[in-house]
Structure 1
Amino acid sequence: MTTDTTPLRGRICLVAGATRGAGRAIAVQLGAAGATVYVTGRTTRDRLSEVGRATETIEETAELVTAAGGEGIAVPTDHLEPGQVQALVERIDREQGRLDVLVNDVWGGEHLLSFGRKTWENDLTGGLRMLELGVRTHAITSHTALPLLIRHRGGLVVEVTDGTAEYNGTRFRENLFYDLAKNAPLRMAFGLGKELEEYGGTAVALTPGWLRSEQMLTAFGVTEENWRDALAETPDFAISESPVYVGRAVAALAADPDRHRWNGRSTSSAELAREYGFTDADGSRPDAWGFIIAGETEKPDAADYR
């Protein structure tokens, strides 16, 4: 028996916020499964976003998608601008006539984060910016793209966030603005799941674990090749995962004809890895959230959660 290595051939996907990190990996893995993937973001080879990382661009992401076996199409888009998002969706409609998968991964607020301060001690402008980046962008994109997605039954919406509903529902994420920004996609997936039901659509909230994004690796002063060097200073980094892991999670979900069973739910890259049998790039199956929860009452060994 042969296995179809391109189960998403002919599927049209939009990964909003695909410049780097989880968004880039998701786009590439959808491409590896054969999909046509529109990738958006604000950093291009000609323009730098407020994140300030010129080394990752949406053009490069699109090229990686194509190299993986799909078709990558880069469309510079600021998802805070409804007109730009409308033009993006109209282009997809004009060129493809359909949209099968929408991944809402827009964020870019790490540089605004500060912990150890009360809400009134934090910078209000930065806090409100996090809400714009993590909530308003998702709402604008869903409002604009879903009429195209529901044109054909069986569409999939993935709301990428930080933390499962179970974890975030009982724990404060140490910064109120961040807490709100990362809880909103959980609720969006729940609500969109209700609205998409009659169209056979599925909405899921998905969180990676401790993600070795380009920004995170830079913060630790390591690369993907030598990331374990950071363990000497931060042993818990041993439970981290590469962006490939969450990328494979979305690709597996999109290829599952029975994915509607996940509708309205919150899940993680680790849970989907157990369900679908994929691994991270190094062949392991890290369960960061299991490790984090266990660490609240004991001192777990990261090796037991990989």
Structure 2
Amino acid sequence: MGLRSHYIASRCAAPRTAARRKGLIVNTSSGGAVRYTFNVPFGVQRAGVDKMGKDMAHDLKPFNVAAVVIWPGFIKSEKFLAQPDRVPAPLAKRIMESGESSEFAGRAVVGLAADPAIMEKTGRLHLVAELAQEYGFTDIDGRMPAAPSRI
């Protein structure tokens, strides 16, 4: 999930969407971009994704292509569910109680892609939980997870 993979995927999509004169490029990041989370490389990578999204939006706006970054909350991924002991117990408990499914972020992307005013959102960071409130979707279990802090 390094910055390079985000860049390469976005770089491959950009010419295709620009040629069509419409499109949406979505990258995922997290609060690790603005506060210490796990380690230095993790934070640097997340901050790089946020900056890349903003700069791509600037370059792609003349082509009517939106570039955004979404921040999901803690995700109850298959990897986490298989090995919850990989994270500290208090965090594991929090993820189990209030974590999001990966489908929740997918629903946010669907909402963004269907938004006729998507160009108003280009270059910005969007919390998945806030997009859920705006677009009216819930997680797969019917919950509306709380938005993580931006700071």
**So what's the TM-score if we normalise by structure 1?**
0.45
2:146 paired with 1:278: no
Q: Which of residues 40, 46, 67 in structure 2 aligns to 1:203?
A: 67
CA distance 1:254–1:233, shift in 2 (3 Å): closer
Distance 2:135 2:93 in 1: 29
Task: Report Cα offsets for 1:56-101 as digits up to 9, x if no partner.
Answer: xxxxxxxxxxxxxxxxxxxxxxxxxxxxxxxxxxxxxxxxxxxxxx
Q: Is the 8 A contact 2:70 2:125 kept in 1?
A: yes
Q: Any residues of structure 2 matched to 1:90-101 within 5 Å, and which?
A: none
Q: Is the 8 A contact 1:210 1:288 kept in 2?
A: no
Residue aligning to 2:20? 152
Residue aligning to 1:168? 33
CA distance 1:235–1:216, shift in 2 (3 Å): closer
Q: Any residues of structure 2 matched to 1:118-129 within 5 Å, and which?
A: none
Paired residue type of 1:202 = A
Q: Which of residues 85, 92, 116 in structure 2 aligns to 1:257?
A: 116
Paired residue type of 2:8 = I
Q: Is the 8 A contact 2:30 2:46 kept in 1?
A: yes
Distance 2:57 2:90 in 1: 43
Task: Report Cα offsets for 1:202-250 as digits up to 9, x if no partner.
Answer: 11001211101110111128xxxxxxxxx99954231211111111000
2:10 paired with 1:142: yes
CA distance 1:181–1:233, shift in 2 (3 Å): closer
CA distance 1:189–1:233, shift in 2 (3 Å): closer
Distance 1:232 1:142 in 2: 35
Task: Report Cα offsets for 1:28-60 as digits up to 9, x if no partner.
Answer: xxxxxxxxxxxxxxxxxxxxxxxxxxxxxxxxx
**Tell me, which stretches of 5 or more residues in structure 1 are unaligned?**
1-106, 108-133, 222-230, 294-306
Give 1:168 shift.
3.2
Distance 2:7 2:93 in 1: 37
Paired residue type of 1:162 = S
Q: Is the 8 A contact 2:27 2:70 kept in 1?
A: yes
Superposition RMSD on alpha carbons, in Å? 2.3
Q: Is the 8 A contact 2:13 2:25 kept in 1?
A: no
Distance 1:184 1:268 in 2: 17
**So what's the TM-score if we normalise by structure 2?**
0.87
SS of 1:289 mapped into structure 2? coil
Distance 2:90 2:13 in 1: 45
CA distance 1:232–1:175, shift in 2 (3 Å): closer
Q: Is the 8 A contact 1:212 1:243 kept in 2?
A: yes
CA distance 1:233–1:259, shift in 2 (3 Å): closer
2:18 paired with 1:185: no
SS of 1:150 mapped into structure 2? helix
Give 1:260 shift.
1.2
Distance 2:41 2:68 in 1: 22
CA distance 1:252–1:173, shift in 2 (3 Å): same
CA distance 1:137–1:168, shift in 2 (3 Å): closer
Number of aligned residue pairs: 147
CA distance 1:201–1:234, shift in 2 (3 Å): closer
Larger radius of gyration: 1
SS of 1:151 mapped into structure 2? helix
